Amino acid sequence: MKNIVILKKNKNVLTKQVEESDLPESLNSVLDKRIKLNSLPEKLYRYDLNTSNTSNTSNTSKLVVWGYIDGRANQENQHDLPPNAVWYNESFKKSDIDLLFGDIFVLKYSNDILVDLTKEEYAVYYDKLFGGFEDLGDTDSELSQESIPTQEDLDFIVDDDQELETDSDWDPEDLSSDSESDKEDIEEEEEEEDIE
């Protein structure tokens, strides 16, 4: 028996044991007994993990993903798989966007031998396969210091208690006198044109 990781369709992650032989039948055997499936999971993707051990010999490890490519509505798996997997199925070439159904199984092989995989170990591989995730806590503190206003900012910002010039200071007479003078200017221009 070997430990594998199951990516449940509801985004939970479990570690379960399966028989090394009889794949994919043994994968179906670890599913919840209430789940009725008409098909067996298919081998879909491979992620190469090129690792080296302390004796400087190369250890070819890989994660192999099995899943269901057919299913009903509301049975879609919600997990995001890392991109750039080697694919086994011609129809499923994009591991990060292909739609899978039901549970997804992740198995680890070392030198082509099935070995144990825990959900904690899978989480480490998952981060590496996505290229690592940035610690956002550091940038938050940088942003908060950048958001402290300078004196120039404060001079620009209007205080709520400060009285502003508003339209209430506007006199409608000003508009009528402006339009009157504009009208007179236009009439003068027309007269000059008539003279010429």
Assess whether pLDDT exceeds 90 at residue 120: yes
Assess whether pLDDT exceeds 90 at residue 3: yes
Q: What is the predicted pLDDT for the residue at 46?
A: 93
Assess whether pLDDT exceeds 80 at residue 124: yes
pLDDT band at 7 (very low <50, low <70, confident <90, very high): very high
Domain spans of the chain, in order of start:
2-134
Partners of 17 in the β-ladder? 3
**Of the segments 19-28, 96-105, 115-124, 167-176, which one has the largest average pLDDT value?**
115-124
pLDDT digits (tens, 9 = 90+) for 13-69: 999 988 877 777 778 777 765 555 667 888 999 999 875 555 555 678 999 999 888
pLDDT band at 173 (very low <50, low <70, confident <90, very high): low
Q: Average pLDDT of the chain? A: 76
User: Taking residues 113-126, what's their average pLDDT?
Assistant: 94
Q: Among 5-14, 56-65, 183-192, where is mean pLDDT lowest? A: 183-192
pLDDT digits (tens, 9 = 90+) for 72-107: 888 899 999 998 888 888 777 878 888 899 899 999
User: Taking residues 175-189, what's their average pLDDT?
Assistant: 59
